[in-house]
């Protein structure tokens, strides 16, 4: 994927790839690699790619997005039926045509929102999700025929991607998934369409060795697509509304607000958007966000912090607002707390407040277990914690901080791995000041042990100051001068249930496809270990996953028949959703939180991603972050 190219609408890529002959389709992946490596030149809305000395591609992107096949033109002799146009579309970021604008006009009446779907937490001995949908009353709304057809197409396309893995899911399979996503959006399934686009974006990042690629993001997006397509045909009422999603959040009047800046964070979404979001709170502790997100990468994410906030006539930048305050009149707010910037909104700068002063101090006064319970229920995933740094621990993704949080050993990881952002460097500097007590803002990560992504911290030497770890760079001069104990323990070892055995096979299937799990190995040993720890269902799911991967029927002549990708997809989906639910249960137990009112984890009510800071009250980690639309975010 070439981030220098303008985003291309999913329908455009699907149309261009579908028009290729079978011979050209076989050469498409090589063409994508060639086009992605060629130099580009931008002039206004036009981007030109020099394919070779005599051939030039042109991408016309009014408004920054290519919205029609005719907007991609090639100068070769075979145009318009050439390979170059489809390769350019497949090499570009995937556009989301329903990206909401911060300046859209609010709704004139209160929106009617469906209540969240609730369920009792399951135990390992219970049947794994996705569970069969209970029968609904005859008057309940059901999916339309078009939505059922779109869901089936999404399931088949996602199952084909899972069958092939990242190495085998080339431009042709990606185009089929984009075509299914476009059909789903037209059928009124924006959440499924958004998550399908996130799958394609993650696949392109994986195949181009993008350092920002995360296998867990691809697994989560693929799981969401399969969950929605599996459950939607039988869903009714609130569950159906949650599975459908909404393309845009309605904005409703909220009168006058007095807001206090909390912190700012960069946004890097799985669909190629970048920017910044600033979080504020009112006197009652309710959170509001102001965002500036547009197509772009890490460069735009770092630069957006110094752009003026798009709210009224204020000239405050996001970086300044995170430490100051706002007085807003005529405010409009989405259900997730995002502030609108309509023509009637007025905002002026006001005094801010320190984290240890009212009204912000009340955010840290909420007991930690209650905060985690709210996060697991889907209300928000921001945690406001007082911690003492005790050491570091090395993980597969790198080192993370270990801190004491009310007697609990807590792991604090970097929110972003992109080298253009200072998260990793700031984390390394904080690791050198063990014993320091800090007030932090973090994002909950469901895991068997208390774990969160670190977003902002109080200044190590000035409690009234704060540092946004994704935007500000710590210096050695900011750290305490007194020596800190180098031999401080990193916390007691955690006796974890071996859920990672099932999770590892789920991720391996996402990366390598069905064939990786078809080889004989230590599957019996892993299943026995899961059962010894009481994870009986997990052991059965692991065995079913291996069996579905290895089963290949033969015809009367002994030749192998095509594998049953649908059966493998169902086995993988049961394992993936069950693993997620186990993580939530173990996370709640580690924090002492209550899961009674937690939302159904199999219904991706918000992007998984970062749930995304643009449209959700609890952003997902980039790569959910969640798509900029409320359509699918860590």
Closest CA to 78 of 59, 100, 51: 51
Mean pLDDT of 526-538: 88
Q: What pLDDT score does 387 carry?
A: 94
Closest CA to 265 of 212, 307, 301: 301
Where along the chain do its domains lie? 10-91, 146-244, 252-350, 361-478
Which of 132-136, 194-198, 534-538, 542-546 bottoms out in mean pLDDT, i.e. has the lowest? Answer: 132-136
| 3 state SS of 47 | strand
CATH architecture of structural domain 361-478:
Beta Barrel (2.40)
Q: Are strands 451-458 and 408-414 parallel, antiparallel or unpaired?
A: parallel
Q: Is the pLDDT of residue 612 over 70?
A: no
Q: Is the pLDDT of residue 285 over 70?
A: yes
Q: What pLDDT score does 619 carry?
A: 32
pLDDT in tens, 451-486: 999 999 999 888 889 999 999 998 888 888 754 454
Q: Is the pLDDT of residue 273 over 90?
A: no
Q: Is the pLDDT of residue 121 over 80?
A: no
Q: What pLDDT score does 93 carry?
A: 87
Closest CA to 610 of 597, 595, 625, 623: 625
Q: What gap in Å lies between CA 455 and CA 427, rounded to an integer? A: 10
Residue 630 pLDDT grade (very low, low, confident, very high; cuts 50, 70, 90): very low
Choosing among 1.10.3470, 3.30.160, 2.40.50, 3.40.190, the CATH entry for 252-350 is 2.40.50
pLDDT in tens, 412-447: 999 888 888 899 999 999 988 888 999 999 999 888
Q: What gap in Å lies between CA 335 and CA 113, rounded to an integer? A: 9
Q: What pLDDT score does 277 carry?
A: 92
Which pair of tokens denotes residue 421?
Answer: 């952002």
Q: What pLDDT score does 304 carry?
A: 86
Q: What pLDDT score does 603 carry?
A: 52
Mean pLDDT of 120-149: 58
Q: Is the pLDDT of residue 311 over 50?
A: yes
Q: Contact 591/248 with Cβ under 8 angstroms?
A: no
Q: What pLDDT score does 159 carry?
A: 94
Burial class from Cβ neighbours inside 10 Å (0-12, 13-18, 19+) for residue 365 reads exposed
Which of 88-102, 210-224, 273-287, 370-384 bottoms out in mean pLDDT, i.e. has the lowest? Answer: 88-102
Residue 122 pLDDT grade (very low, low, confident, very high; cuts 50, 70, 90): very low
Q: Would you say the CATH fold of 361-478 matches that of 252-350?
A: yes
pTM reported for the whole predicted model: 0.79
169-174: Cβ within 8 A, 24+ apart: 169/203, 169/207, 170/28, 170/29, 170/32, 170/207, 171/17, 171/28, 171/29, 171/32, 171/86, 171/87, 171/90, 172/17, 172/25, 172/28, 174/13, 174/90, 174/200, 174/203, 174/204
pLDDT in tens, 57-69: 999 998 888 999 9
Q: Is the pLDDT of residue 131 over 50?
A: no
pLDDT in tens, 8-31: 999 999 999 999 999 999 999 999
Q: What pLDDT score does 130 carry?
A: 45
Q: Is the pLDDT of residue 39 over 50?
A: yes
Which of 105-119, 347-361, 597-611 bottoms out in mean pLDDT, i.e. has the lowest? Answer: 105-119
Residue 270 pLDDT grade (very low, low, confident, very high; cuts 50, 70, 90): low
């Amino acid at each position: 994927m070439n981030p220098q190219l303008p985003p291309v609408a999913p329908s455009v890529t699907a149309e261009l790839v579908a028009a290729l002959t079978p011979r050209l389709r076989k050469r498409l992946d090589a063409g994508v690699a060639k086009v992605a490596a060629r130099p580009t030149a931008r002039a206004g809305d036009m981007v030109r790619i020099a394919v070779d000395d005599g051939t030039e591609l042109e991408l016309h992107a009014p408004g920054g997005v290519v919205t029609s096949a005719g907007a991609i033109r090639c100068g070769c002799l075979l145009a318009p039926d050439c390979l170059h146009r489809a390769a350019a579309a497949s090499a570009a970021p995937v556009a989301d045509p329903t990206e909401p604008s911060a300046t859209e006009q609010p709704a004139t009446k209160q929106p009617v929102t469906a209540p969240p779907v609730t369920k009792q937490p399951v135990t390992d001995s219970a049947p794994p999700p996705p569970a069969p949908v209970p029968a609904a009353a005859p008057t309940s709304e059901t999916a339309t025929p078009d939505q059922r057809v779109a869901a089936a197409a999404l399931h088949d396309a996602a199952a084909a991607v899972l069958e092939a893995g990242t190495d085998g899911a080339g431009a042709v399979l990606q185009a089929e998934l984009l075509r299914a996503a476009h059909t789903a959006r037209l059928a009124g399934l924006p959440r499924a369409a958004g998550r399908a686009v996130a799958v394609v974006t993650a696949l392109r990042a994986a195949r181009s060795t993008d350092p920002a690629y995360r296998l867990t993001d691809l697994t989560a997006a693929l799981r969401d697509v399969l969950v929605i397509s599996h459950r939607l045909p039988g869903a009714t009422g609130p569950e159906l509304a949650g599975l459908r999603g909404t393309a845009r959040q309605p904005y409703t009047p909220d009168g006058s607000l007095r807001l206090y800046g909390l912190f700012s964070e960069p946004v890097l979404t799985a669909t190629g958007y970048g920017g910044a979001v600033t979080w504020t709170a009112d006197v009652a502790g309710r959170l509001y966000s102001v965002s500036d997100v547009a197509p772009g990468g890490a460069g735009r994410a770092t630069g957006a912090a110094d752009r003026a906030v798009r709210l009224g006539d204020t000239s405050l930048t996001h970086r300044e607002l995170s430490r100051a305050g706002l007085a807003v009149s005529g405010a409009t707010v989405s259900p997730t707390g995002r502030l609108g910037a309509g023509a009637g909104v007025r905002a002026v700068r006001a005094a801010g407040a320190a984290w240890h002063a009212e009204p912000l101090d009340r955010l840290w006064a909420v007991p930690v277990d209650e905060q985690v319970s709210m996060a697991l229920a889907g209300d928000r995933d921001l945690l406001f914690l007082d911690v003492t740094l005790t050491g570091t621990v090395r993980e597969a993704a790198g080192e993370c901080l270990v801190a004491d949080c009310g007697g609990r050993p807590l792991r604090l990881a970097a929110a972003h791995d992109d080298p253009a952002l200072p998260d990793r460097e700031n984390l390394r500097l904080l690791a050198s000041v063990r014993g320091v007590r800090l007030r932090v803002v973090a994002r909950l990560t469901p895991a068997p042990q208390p774990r969160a992504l670190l977003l902002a911290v109080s200044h190590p030497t000035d409690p009234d100051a704060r540092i946004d770890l994704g935007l500000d760079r710590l210096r050695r001069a900011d750290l305490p001068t007194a020596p800190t104990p180098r031999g401080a323990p990193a916390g007691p070892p955690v006796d974890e249930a071996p859920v990672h055995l099932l999770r590892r096979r789920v991720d391996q299937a996402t990366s390598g496809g069905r064939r990786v799990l078809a080889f004989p190995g230590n599957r019996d040993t892993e299943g026995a270990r899961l059962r010894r720890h009481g994870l009986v269902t997990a052991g059965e799911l692991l065995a079913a996953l291996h069996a579905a991967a290895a089963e290949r029927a033969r015809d009367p002549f002994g030749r192998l028949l095509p594998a049953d990708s649908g059966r493998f997809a169902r086995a993988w989906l049961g394992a993936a959703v069950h693993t997620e639910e186990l993580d939530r249960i173990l996370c709640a137990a580690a924090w002492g939180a209550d899961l009674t009112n937690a939302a159904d984890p199999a219904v991706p009510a918000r992007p998984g991603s970062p749930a995304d800071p643009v449209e959700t009250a609890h952003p997902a980690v980039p790569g959910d972050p969640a798509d900029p639309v409320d359509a699918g975010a860590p």
